[in-house]
Amino acid sequence: MTTPRPEASLRTLDHLVEAGLVAPAEKPEIEKVLRRYALAITPAMAGIIAADDPQSGVQRQFVPSAQELVTAEGELDDPIGDEPFAPVKGIVHRYEDRVLLKLHHACPVYCRFCFRREQVGPGGAALNGGELDAALAYIAADPGIWEVILSGGDPLILPPARLRSVIERLCAIDHVGVIRIHSRVPVVSPERIDAELVAALRQAKPVYVVLHCNHPDELGPAARAALARLADAGLPLLSQSVLLRGINDDAQTLTRLFRRLVENRVKPYYLHHADLARGTGHFRTSIGEGQALMGQLRGKVSGLCQPTYVLDIPGGHGKVPIGPAYVEAAGPGAYALRDPAGGRHMYRECLPAEAGSGAMPLSSA
Ligand SMILES: *Cc1c(COP(=O)(O)O)cnc(C)c1O
Ligand code: SF4
């Protein structure tokens, strides 16, 4: 018997059982998971899951499991510390030159490892007209804000006309130079990337699209066509991935993922170390494992395919690179460098002599 391809997203326990993704015996446990965390699997992802091996990297990202009920000490409701940096509803202002603008809390899929899993879901209220006005006024009042990042909730599930109007209002603020959209839609709901939506993103100021994608099998023909529509429209495309145990934590899968992104004109931007969100321990790797993986890619795989491996420091202290170190100070003007194969090399700086040190500056030689 083949599972019919669903025409609508899977949103309930019964949908999962009908699709053969949850065994009847597992129902009570999964019901507990769904009381806490939102569920949605789009037709595009359900189609890939149905055609795929159950242990594959796509299924485990979206199908709930009883392991989500296990929480470890140290896991947090707000693992990246958004809350203390929210000056008005919908804005997170943690870094000087950029803010997040969260228009709503809904996503087309709910990733089981989501770092905002306590906040996202279909029930969360979107910003109303007055709240959006207040968020835009906050941005307009701070000339230090150069970039506005629509995040969320997935901005690309909004009706194109609404998205267009928000981006137009952002473009009208003089000091806003760039708008960035973080989205999973081109992969999980590629049919939404139609001419109307693409037109809404082509505006007076550059709109960068950062795609969230974790496994090469997510990028089927429909997703690749959606990315081509965005790239052909001149929208710069970047990606962010989360390092996930059992899904993409091996050098071969990461290489396939990053190469496939680059082949589709998407530059891998960040590889995130999994955050300390509650009930996501089964997805987490150690930092040492992540560094070893990045080390395996460096030198072997094109530089275009190398994202920065980052960790968002819990408590809202910001993201920092945590990849392997290749340089170590070794005395004044001297460094020990490690090559991609592990060899060590000394490097001595050759700098123009400083003014006052007795040597002639190079420019007047
Ligand atoms: C991740 C994040 C950003 C974007 O950071 P970049 O390093 O510029 O990609 C901005 N604001 C907040 C609150 C973030 O969490
Ligand atoms: S798309 Fe992003 S915000 Fe939405 S559930 Fe997945 S990880 Fe969370």
Instruction: Please tell me if the CB atom of residue 106 comes closer than 6 angstroms to any atom of ligand 1.
Output: no
Asked whether 27 lines ligand 1 (CB < 6 A), one says no
- Residues sharing a CB contact under 8 Å with residue 64, sequence separation 6 or more, in sequence order: 16, 22, 30, 33, 34, 37, 39, 112
310 lines ligand 1 (CB under 6 A): no
Nearest CA to ligand 1 atom 7: 319
Take residue 122 and report the two structure tokens written for it. Answer: 């279909």
Q: Which atom of ligand 1 is nearest to the CA of 270?
A: 9
Type of residue at 23: A
pLDDT at 76: 86
pLDDT given for residue 90 in this prediction: 95
Q: Which atom of ligand 1 is nearest to the CA of 310?
A: 7
**What average pLDDT does this structure show over 65-79?**
91
pLDDT of residue 353: 78
Q: What pTM does this model have?
A: 0.93
Q: Which ligand is nearest to the CA of 120?
A: 2
For ligand 2, say whether the CB of 110 is within 6 Å of any of its atoms: yes
Query: To 5 degrees, how large is the angle CA 323–CA 209–CA 173?
Result: 110
Of 142, 151, 178, best ligand 1 pocket probe by most atoms within 8 Å of the beta carbon: 151
Ligand 2 lined by 152 (C-beta under 6 Å):
yes
Contact indicator for 55, 101 with CB cutoff of 8 Å: no
Q: What is the pLDDT of residues 226-280, one digit of tens each?
A: 999 999 999 999 999 999 999 999 999 999 999 999 999 999 999 999 999 999 9
Looking at ligand 1, which residue's alpha carbon is closest to its atom 5?
319
Share of the chain above pLDDT 70, in %: 94
Domains of the chain and CATH, by start: 13-69 (no CATH), 83-321 (3.20.20.70), 327-365 (no CATH)
Instruction: Decide if 205 contacts 179 (C-beta within 8 A).
Output: yes
At residue 118, the 3 state secondary structure works out as: coil
Query: Which listed ligand is nearest to 186 at the C-alpha?
Result: 2
User: From CA 179, how far away is CA 98, in angstroms rounded?
Assistant: 10
**Closest ligand relative to 241 C-alpha:** 2
Residue 277's pLDDT is 94
Q: Decide: 213 and 257 in contact? Cβ < 8 Å.
A: yes
Which positions are annotated as active-site residues? 94-95, 98, 107, 111, 114, 116, 275, 312, 319
- What is the mean predicted confidence (pLDDT) over 17-46? 96
Q: Is the CB of residue 130 less than 8 Å from the CB of residue 138? A: no
> How would residue 6 be classed by pLDDT, with cut points 50, 70 and 90?
low
CA–CA distance, 159 with 147 (Å, rounded to integer): 22
CA angle 318, 319, 323 (to 5 degrees): 150
Regarding the beta carbon of 188 and ligand 2, being less than 6 Å apart is answered no
pLDDT of residue 7: 76
Which pLDDT score, from 0 to 100, does residue 354 have?
A: 66
Averaged pLDDT, 299-309: 97
Q: What angle do CA 171, 173, 179 make, to 5 degrees?
A: 45
pLDDT digits (tens, 9 = 90+) for 133-172: 999 999 999 999 999 999 989 999 999 999 999 999 999 9
Probe residue for ligand 1, chosen from 88, 95, 180 as the CB with the greatest number of ligand atoms within 8 Å: 95
CA 42–ligand 2 middle distance (angstroms): 13
Give me the helices (H) in the chain, please.
13-18, 27-36, 43-50, 59-62, 129-141, 160-171, 185-188, 195-201, 221-232, 251-263, 287-297
* pLDDT number for residue 364: 42
Q: How far apart are CA 234 and CA 198, in angstroms?
A: 10
pLDDT at 362 over 90: no
- Residue 53 or 294, more confident: 294
Going from the Cα of 152 to the center of ligand 2, the distance in angstroms, rounded, reads 7
DSSP-assigned beta bridge partners for residue 239: 211, 268
Residue with tokens 């947090």: 76
94 lines ligand 1 (CB under 6 A): yes
Give the Cα separation of 294 and 345 in Å (integer): 20
Give the mean pLDDT of 63-73: 94
Q: How far is CA 257 from CA 63, 211, 216, in A?
A: 21, 13, 4
pLDDT digits (tens, 9 = 90+) for 190-221: 999 999 999 999 999 999 999 999 999 999 99
239 vs 83, higher pLDDT: 239
| Residues pairing with 178 in the sheet | 147
Q: What does the mean pLDDT of the chain come to?
A: 93
